[in-house]
Structure 1
């Protein structure tokens, strides 16, 4: 599996459906990842749009030194960092929670699962940016440590240490709330 490289190649060869596939496959994950960096879901969505606009307009070359997913996440992260540098003098309120607690199936079970997710996301929001990023990339996006290292511009050893400290910090925050996340 090439994680989107063939779709991007098709787009570069003139098939617009390749870009449509990339947007469909990556927009949600990128928005959630960038929300962890920016702390604002609306800004994260704008940066996702900018990322895909850059792919469409500038058509950067994908060298294949990493997976396509790693490459596109690195582009998006760099755009977010640039945006945060530009906006440093302005303050913005973090986004509200986007959770729908009504479900027709087992409402109580779904409610508890949603509450756990809210607790997890609240706890992650209190962590520093590097911790949020490494946890999001490795757990939610299921990227390898080396892919996360490439995206975050860190060495594999730095990612291992960062991931270890991030897990400890998150576990501590969750335990204070009386919640233990099974994947930690």
Structure 2
């Protein structure tokens, strides 16, 4: 598997399929990320396409592991913030995945998992926006602290603090609401 940065360079060199690889890899997750800002999946899809278009339109200084993803998400974030400013929406709602259990045991397990996920997502909604976004980028998008810092226009140290404080706040909210941990 080639790196994102290599695929980007190949696209710029004229290899159209390299762009398809990047869009296939990041299109859906990026749309969900943008939708967190907009709460409108159709607009999020449009902005996802716009984010890729801006990056593919001209050669950008994208080098280093994870740099393409960080640059892409930063571009999308800026587009979403501009759009949201025009339309005055709030940030990040998560959507649950559909799952059809194959047996009663799986149904009970899946019901329990969904309830725990709902509790987690409800608690995430109660966090400060900065905490929620930092946690989302680091844990849901699997970004490094450095790349999350790039996306959020923060220093790596600030992201470290946001993630730490976000986890502490999330734990407090969950405990206050009676959340039980899986290993208890």
> TM-score if structure 2 supplies the norm length?
0.82
Match of 1:63 in 2: 62
For 1:114-154, what per-residue CA distance to the aligned partner results, in whole angstroms no more than 9, with x for missing partners?
A: 22222212221222321111001111122221211111001
Query: What do the CA deviations read for 1:60-116 (whole angstroms, capped 9, x no partner)?
Result: 41331662211111111111112122223xx58x87844424222512112211222
Query: Match of 1:103?
Result: 101
CA distance in 2: counterparts of 1:168 and 1:113, whole angstroms:
22
What 5-or-longer segments of structure 2 have no aligned partner?
none
The residue that corresponds to 2:132 in the other structure is 132
- Aligned residues of 2:8 and 2:19 also touching (Cα < 8 A): yes
The two structures, once aligned, show a CA RMSD in angstroms of 2.7
User: Counterparts of 2:181 and 2:141 in 1: how far apart (Å)?
Assistant: 17
Change (3 A) 1:107 1:181: same
Contact 1:3–1:69 under 8 Å retained in 2? no
- 2:38 corresponding residue in structure 1: 38
Provide the aligned length of Structure 1 versus Structure 2: 179
| In structure 2, distance between residues paired with 1:96 and 1:146 | 24
Q: Structure 2: how far apart are the matches of 1:14 and 1:177?
A: 54
- Once residues 28 and 36 of structure 1 are traced to their aligned partners in structure 2, the CA distance between those partners, rounded to angstroms, is 13
Aligned match of 1:79: 79
Gaps of 5+ in 1: none
In the other structure, the counterpart of 2:7 is: 7
TM-score, scaled relative to structure 1: 0.82
1:148 matched to which residue of 2?
148
Equivalent in the alignment of 2:20: 20
Could you tell me which residue of structure 2 aligns to residue 169 of structure 1? 169
CA contact (8 A) 1:145 1:159 kept: yes
Distance, in Å, in 2 between the alignment partners of 1:181 and 1:135 is: 19
